[in-house]
A and B are shown apart, each in its own frame.
Chain A
Amino acid sequence: MLNAKVPEGKIEEKWRNYQAQSRLVNPANKKKLKVIVVGSGLAGAGAAATLAELGYDISCFCYQDSARRAHSVAAQGGVNAAKNYQHDGDSVWRMFYDTLKGGDFRSREANVYRLAELSAPLIDHFTQQGVPFAREYGGVLVNRSFGGVQVERTFYARGQTGQQLLLAAYSQLNKMIRARKVEMFTRHEMLDLVVIDGKAKGIIARDLQSGKIRRFAADAVVLATGGYSRVFRLSTLAIGCNGSALWKAHKRGAFFASPSFTQIHPTALPQSSEAQSKLTLMSESLRNDGRIWVPKTKGDTRKANDIPEEERDYYLERRYPSFGNLAPRDIASRAAKERIDAGYGIGRLKNAVYLDFKHAIERFGMETVNDRYGNLFTMYKKITGIDAYTEPMQISPAAHFSMGGLWVDYELMTTIPGLYAVGECNFSDHGANRLGANSLLQASVDGYFILPNTINNYLAQALKEEHETTEHPEFSKVEQEVKEHIDHILAVNGCKTVDHFHRELGKVMWQECAMSRNKSGLQKAIGQIKKIREDFWTEVNVTGHSNELNTELEKALRLADFIELGILMCTDALDREESCGAHFREEYQTEDGEAVRVDDKYAFVSAWEYSNGDFKLHKEPLDFEFIQPSVRSYK
């Protein structure tokens, strides 16, 4: 029943075949068509700017005070592209293979191939937009390698690649705002989707400054709302990152794919107290030159520098000799958890491992290390007060990226016609585990190159239909529901804070639905989250009103959705009785603790339909035509 609409032909020809056959909209007609883009990150800003350049009438939304603050800004490490500038054997095919394998064969071949195919032109695009990528003295672009691959295909702008790419997207967005082709709504949060006769026709948003609930109608709606790993509360995401737009779309009929596939990043700063609000990421690029270790003796209390070389366990190099410190994230995180759980963790709370630059400094010198990682070392010092040039960093795994998201077909359309999902908020390309530096790529390629080519196919049809306005009764109905939901939260008037419930939810999710999962734990978690939901709706206290700027209300609305999303995530993890990528079910492992995938039963994408508070599973079978799934080994 799920139709992914993958075009015919050889894998190399699918995208070209698609473009040749897709319907177009006459340039003169484009300005009559309105598209809402929710999100101003790489996916959203890229889509909004490009669709506006094509002539569509665009409204773009973000919850921050400026489009430039979308969380794409925080990406440090880099963006991948199969340019093969380093002449080290890279190609579109190899990148396709690496990405599919990195995702443990749980993504759709045709989408992954397209991602690799469109990567090279993306670097051209950003260079032209003024991104100051790192350069060699001779003036050409530099590359480095990132976890899980053996070629150098990562482009970067110091340790601020995401910031530079986002600012380029933001600048192009501003160009179109000035041209009056994009209307930008900052400090506006989408609270619901309006579906008329089965098609997405608009949104209900709250103006966060005035508190006013507003209606927006359009011919198509694009969600580009980023990742939802704040469901764990402690994560590398921004505090405002949320799953609300996705969740509301899900409740209105959009299927949610692989919701539980969450990447836990191996190199974040460890939690230091209960009051902590976020975990700062230390870029994975550090693993290129830094070496990860723990003491060989349990509970060793000596300072790192006092522990001699022969008493250090470089456990990644030991377990995965061919990839060593560059093992993919899921593997590196699980290995860290294994050591920490076994009692070898370091730091005040014994919840961390060392990341050491001693050897790199000896080998390349201070200046080179500073040139490569200087700003990361500065950031580390600002937060921890420790100088990583003289003492190893302390790092720990943290929730980081949602591979799951709304189910989309090859055109990036969800199961609701006219509703698209681009960037991190869709499920499409990363399978059960995302390779480092592939996500800036995916968000950008979705927004700049893919959506502007696929949305015409739908809008060509929409042109012939009536344009709905906000006067349609469905708008007032949904608006009313949103208002009642808000009033309901404000009326609880209990005795606990929103953050209290978020901490509770985070603990359950981290314990049972993160790096390793098992049947009884997940069953228990679902019960616990349902209890949290019940308590939330009887005990939460949100002060202030709905018709004013109210940060507490914003948090409460996001949390109410996270709680429900948490239940779906556990349901999904419970259903999938195999280990694949980041989804590690304890019941499915080899003797030495490696994942056991069960292809004959689970070679499909789980797409969940919402039905009256319950979830119904649909399966999109993954038929591998071009690459045969193999056991994913990094030994």
Chain B
Amino acid sequence: MKVTFQIWRQDGPTDKGRLKDYEVDGLTEDMSFLEALDHLNELLVLKNEKVIAYEYDCREGICGQCGIFINGRAHGPHANMTTCQLHMRSFNDGDTIVVEPWRAQAFPVVKDLIVDRSALDRIIEQGGYISAKTGTAPEANSIPIGKDVADKAMDAAACIGCGACVATCKNASAALFTSAKINHLNSLPQGKPEQHRRVLEMTKQMAYEGFGHCTFTGACEVECPEGISIVNIAELNARILKARLLG
């Protein structure tokens, strides 16, 4: 299989950056997309050129470190999938594939396809936790939690922090990410004592980091690898109102 990658090359945060063409032969359909880039990088080394910088770690869709804009879509052509789960069988021989980094004001480019997503960590820092010290917990079964409540919390907790929701949103909003964490914690009895403060401080940080406002286009839930539903954002909006009244 032979394809042409058009890849964003940018030497550092201050470099302007540009798309560069790489024709690559010898690929197979079984290869993952990242393995195809690995292959290209080996070819570049053999030509004594600098490798393309891109991110990954687990390569099984759970760590959230990979994230590339492929042919104009976050994580590539399929819905609800990470970049590392994408395989070359999703492309045709002879295709041209455009490969770019996440684009958002809050995610500055570090190098080539790597961006800085530490803004997401800082949102969590503002309340994405339950303040209970090690050693203070009551017996686990002493607070029953209905299966429906636990399941719903789990649905929201599944977010892998990849930032695809931000990258795909025309407003570069982090509402899906932030609402997922808030709904996970606020729906559990253990998360209730700090619920209002959590809502107010995490959403404040979200705005401070330069993420845009959510206008409910729904683009995020299409790309989210964990299928986090946009209903989470509606629920967050209700929580914001409540927190402003009671918090």
Considering only residues 23-64 of chain B, those with a C-beta below 8 Å from chain A are 28, 30-32, 34-35, 38-39, 41-42, 44-46, 48-51, 53-64
- Is A379 in the interface zone, CB < 8 Å from B? yes
Q: Are A275 and B141 in contact (CB under 8 A)?
A: no
Residues of B within 8 A of A452 (CB): 134
Bound-complex Cα distance A497 to B59 (A): 21
Q: Contact at A132–B157, with CB atoms within 8 Å?
A: yes
Cβ-neighbour of A123 out of B34, B120, B132, B140 (below 8 A): B140
Q: Which residues of B contact A541 (CB under 8 A)?
A: 45-46, 48
Separation of A382 and B56 alpha carbons in the complex (Å): 17
Contact A171 B147 (CB under 8 A): no
Name the interface residues of A146-182: CB closer than 8 Å to any CB of B.
157-158, 160, 163-164, 167, 170-172, 174-175, 177-178
B125 in complex: contacting residue of A130, A174, A548, CB < 8 Å: A174
| A140 and B121 within 8 A (CB) | no
> In the complex, which residues 11-64 of chain A have their Cβ closer than 8 Å to any Cβ of chain B?
46, 49-50, 53, 64
Residue B196 CB within 8 A of the other chain: no
The answer to whether A128 touches B138, judged by C-beta atoms less than 8 angstroms apart, is: yes
Chain A proximity of B11: nearest CB distance (Å):
8
- Best-buried of A64, A133, A272, A275 by chain B (most CB within 10 Å): A275
Give Cα A542–Cα B121 distance, bound, in whole angstroms: 32
A4 CB-CB contact with B under 8 Å: no
- The reply on A66 being an interface residue by CB < 8 A is yes
Is B240 engaged at the interface, CB distance under 8 Å to the other chain? no
- Confirm or deny: A209 has a beta carbon within 8 angstroms of a beta carbon on chain B: yes
Cβ 8 A contact of A132, one of B61, B62, B140, B184: B184
A174 touches B62 (CB 8 A): no
Interface string of A462-505 (1 = CB under 8 A from B): 00000000000000000000000000000000010111100000
Contact string, A279-290, partner B, CB cutoff 8 A, digits 1/0?
Answer: 011000000000
Closest chain B residue to A123, Cβ basis: B140
Contact of B140 among A65, A127, A275 (CB under 8 A): A127
| Residues on the A chain within 8 Å of B16, using CB | none
Q: Which residues of A contact B55 (CB under 8 A)?
A: 65
Question: Is B57 a contact partner of A134 (Cβ separation < 8 A)?
Answer: no
> Is the beta-carbon distance between A277 and B38 smaller than 8 angstroms?
yes
The answer to whether A220 has its CB under 8 Å from any CB of chain B is no
By a CB distance below 8 angstroms, the chain A residues around B45 are 497-498, 541-543, 552
On whether A499 and B42 interact (CB within 8 A), knowing A133-B150, A379-B61, the answer reads yes
Using C-beta atoms within 8 Å of the partner chain, give the interface range for chain A. Answer: 35 or more
User: CB distance B28 to A273 under 8 Å?
Assistant: yes
Whether B200 is near chain A, meaning CB under 8 Å from some CB there, is no
Contact pick for A73, options B62, B114, B137, CB 8 Å: B62
- B150 to A, closest residue via Cβ: A135
CB closest chain-B residue, reference A500: B42
- Asked whether B128 lies within 8 Å of A171 as measured between CB atoms, the reply is yes
- A240→B57 contact, CB < 8 A: yes
Complex contact A71–B157 (CB within 8 A): no
Chain A: minimal CB distance from B169 (Å)? 20
A121 adjacent to chain B (CB < 8 Å):
yes
Bound form: Cα–Cα A302–B59 in Å: 32
Contact of A85 among B117, B141, B151 (CB under 8 A): B141
Q: Pick the contact of B121 from A121, A174, A278, A385 — CB < 8 Å?
A: A174
CA distance A158 to B31 in the complex (A): 28
Which chain A residues lie closer than 8 Å to B111 at the CB level?
Answer: 548-549
A329 at the interface (CB under 8 A from B): no
Q: Could you tell me if A74 and B60 are in contact, using CB atoms closer than 8 angstroms?
A: yes
How many angstroms between the C-alpha atoms of A38 and B239 in the bound complex?
38
Q: Mark A382-394, 1 if CB is under 8 A from B, else 0.
A: 1101000000000
Which of B116, B121, B139 has the largest number of chain A CB atoms within 10 A?
B121
Residue A449 is within 8 A (CB to CB) of chain B in the complex: yes
- B-facing mask of A421-462, CB < 8 A → 1, else 0? 000000000000000000000000000110010000000000
- The answer on a CB contact under 8 Å between A127 and B137 is yes
Shortest CB distance A206–B (Å): 15
Residue with the highest number of chain B CB atoms closer than 10 Å, among A50, A382, A542: A382
Task: Tell me if A132 and B141 are in contact (CB < 8 A).
Answer: no
The answer to whether B38 touches A64 (Cβ under 8 A) is no
| Chain A hits for B87, CB < 8 A | 383, 385
A50 vs B61: C-alpha distance when bound (angstroms): 29
**A65 touching B38, Cβ below 8 Å:** no
> Which of B92-100, B185-193, B210-218 contacts its partner?
B185-193
Q: A532 at the A/B interface (Cβ < 8 Å)?
A: no
Q: Tell me if A186 counts as interface (CB < 8 A to partner B).
A: yes
Q: Which of A323-363 contact B (CB under 8 A)?
A: none
Q: Let me know if A275 and B35 touch, CB within 8 A.
A: yes
Q: Is the CB of B63 within 8 A of A71?
A: yes
Contact of B61 among A123, A239, A382, A385 (CB under 8 A): A382
**A530–B154 alpha-carbon span in the complex (Å):** 49
Contact A137 B146, beta carbon cutoff 8 Å: yes
Interface centre among A46, A66, A186 (most CB of B within 10 A): A66
Is A560 engaged at the interface, CB distance under 8 Å to the other chain? no
Tell yes or no: A613 within 8 A of B by CB.
no
Other-chain residue from A130, A134, A277, A383 in contact with B184 (beta carbon distance below 8 A): A130
On whether the beta carbons of B53 and A549 are closer than 8 Å, the reply is yes
> Which B residue sits closest to A49, measured CB to CB?
B134
Q: Is A551 an interface residue (CB 8 A)?
A: yes
Q: Are A238 and B58 touching (Cβ within 8 A)?
A: yes
User: Pick the contact of B188 from A132, A140, A551 — CB < 8 Å?
Assistant: A132
Extra inter-chain contacts (20) besides given A278-B60, A541-B46, A542-B45, CB under 8 Å: A65-B65, A65-B116, A68-B64, A69-B58, A71-B57, A139-B145, A139-B147, A141-B141, A158-B158, A170-B124, A175-B131, A273-B28, A277-B32, A495-B46, A497-B42, A497-B45, A499-B42, A543-B45, A544-B51, A549-B114
| Leading 9 A-B pairs by shortest Cβ distance | A139-B144, A171-B129, A128-B137, A132-B154, A132-B153, A124-B137, A127-B140, A238-B57, A69-B63
- What are 27 A-B interface contacts by the 8 Å CB criterion? A49-B134, A64-B63, A65-B65, A68-B63, A68-B121, A68-B124, A69-B57, A71-B57, A83-B140, A127-B137, A128-B137, A130-B153, A133-B140, A136-B147, A139-B144, A140-B141, A167-B157, A174-B124, A186-B121, A275-B28, A277-B59, A278-B59, A281-B60, A383-B87, A497-B45, A500-B42, A549-B110
A residues apposed to B, CB below 8 Å: 46, 49-50, 53, 64-69, 71, 73-74, 83, 85, 121, 123-125, 127-130, 132-141, 157-158, 160, 163-164, 167, 170-172, 174-175, 177-178, 186, 209, 238-240, 272-273, 275-278, 280-281, 379, 382-383, 385, 448-449, 452, 495, 497-500, 541-544, 548-552
Q: Interface residues, chain B, CB within 8 Å of chain A?
A: 12, 28, 30-32, 34-35, 38-39, 41-42, 44-46, 48-51, 53-65, 81, 85, 87, 89, 110-111, 114, 116-118, 120-121, 124-126, 128-141, 143-147, 150-151, 153-154, 157-158, 160-161, 184-185, 188, 190-191
